[in-house]
Amino acid sequence: MRYDNLRVAIVGTGRISDLHAIAYRNNPKARIVALCDRDPELARQRAVAWGVPDARITDDYADILADPEIDLVEILLPHHMHLSAALDAMAAGKAVSLQKPMCVNIEEADRLVEAARDAAAPVKIFENFIFYPPVTRAKALIAEGAIGTPLTIRIKSNPGRSATAWRVPRGADAWRQDLAQSGGGPLVFDDGHHKFALAWNFMGNPEEVHAFTGETARPDGYILDAPAMVSFRFPGNRMGNLEIVYSPELEIITRHYAQDDRIEITGTRGVLWINCGHGRLGNPAPLAVYRDGQVTTYHDMETGWEASFVASTQHHIDALTSGTAPRLTPEEGRDILRFALAAEESHRTHRPISLV
């Protein structure tokens, strides 16, 4: 199936929907035509802000699915609602963009994968970070041999605070503290999805995962699963690590979440660093490579975090209008979910988790 012009409904108009909307608003092949939220007032604010002139606003998801003038449903709901919302959209023949993580456990993911195989329209699991321009540039450099064969990956998630961060309504996030709704911890599982997707993006599926996971309360009482040290083995004598640490007084330079994200990939011949993501500590080069006595830094790319959303959505529009597969496919989304769930399970069971 191939679309000429995408009519998009955004389901869930919370904080993050601002970044999902950008590419739809700027691409002539797509337009946002409907908004759905349990809080219609919130949806209305978005409609005005986005200059969506004829948006139909509803608090009933069934309205969206029943509307023949909608091609694509962008699902931005709490995690535990992902499966049923996606299954319903597939049943209604809609193309689907489903926010990561696709589901809250593997059983759900299996059902979604199976349903997507028979669906009339394609399903994309929306993972922005692997579309972040420094990440895609890094992947291209590695493919060109910039660091030889990658041997290890190190990822760091370091949330802090920021005078310039955007504001996230406190209540809107409450469901993330309920494991039944979220599926896992806010840093190892929810934000962790981005990081495990990055590890998968550069190194493939892991064979074994081990996690030490702590617990820290933010000043507002919100409980974080930090610090955490997650280690993983990949086939072929390759390894990786995710360090998560919450620094309550670390001032982050950002317009989005107050979090520093870093990636270091060590290869047989060189080392590559991606030095920013949600925010920055100072203004390090977004992308740097050491090799053969030379350090090269790359600056001719967008580095705002929103660029990862724009590129992910842009890729989706291209896939739907050209009839190619979206990225992540549901199968890929399940692989990353399994990776993240293994970190959760290792913490619970106090042992490394095999994935082979």
Residues near 297 by beta carbon (within 8 Å), at least 6 away in sequence: 285, 286, 287, 288, 289
The nearer residue to a second copy, 143 or 180, going by C-beta atoms, is 143
> How many other CB atoms are found less than 10 A from the CB of residue 45?
14
The least distance separating a second copy from the CB of residue 173, rounded to whole angstroms, comes to: 22
- The region of 26-34, 66-74, 118-126, 246-254 touching a second copy under the rule CB under 8 A is 246-254
Query: Which residue in 20, 195, 238, 315 binds a second copy (CB under 8 A)?
Result: 238
Instruction: Based on the shown chain and the rule CB under 8 A, indicate whether residue 216 belongs to the binding site for a second copy.
Output: yes
Integer-rounded Cα Rg, in Å, for the chain is 20
Instruction: Based on the shown chain and the rule CB under 8 A, indicate whether residue 248 belongs to the binding site for a second copy.
Output: yes
- The region of 85-93, 112-120, 146-154, 336-344 touching a second copy under the rule CB under 8 A is 146-154
The nearer residue to a second copy, 78 or 286, going by C-beta atoms, is 286
The DSSP 8-state label assigned to residue 167 in this structure reads: P
Instruction: Based on the shown chain and the rule CB under 8 A, indicate whether residue 250 belongs to the binding site for a second copy.
Output: yes
Nearest Cα neighbor of 265 from 285, 238, 296, 246 is 238
Instruction: Based on the shown chain and the rule CB under 8 A, indicate whether residue 299 belongs to the binding site for a second copy.
Output: yes
Q: ω before 328 within 30° of 0 (cis)? A: yes
82 SS3 class: helix
Going from the C-alpha of 296 to that of each of 269, 288, 290, 304, 322, the distances in angstroms are 14, 6, 7, 20, 36
> How many other CB atoms are found less than 10 A from the CB of residue 104?
23
Each residue 256-295 as x (binds a second copy by CB under 8 A) or -, in order, gives: ----x---x-xxxxxx--------xxxx-xx---xxxxxx
Q: Which residues bind a second copy (CB under 8 A)?
A: 148, 151-152, 154, 156, 158, 163, 208, 210, 212, 214-216, 227-229, 231-233, 237-241, 243, 245-251, 253, 260, 264, 266-271, 280-283, 285-286, 290-300, 350-352
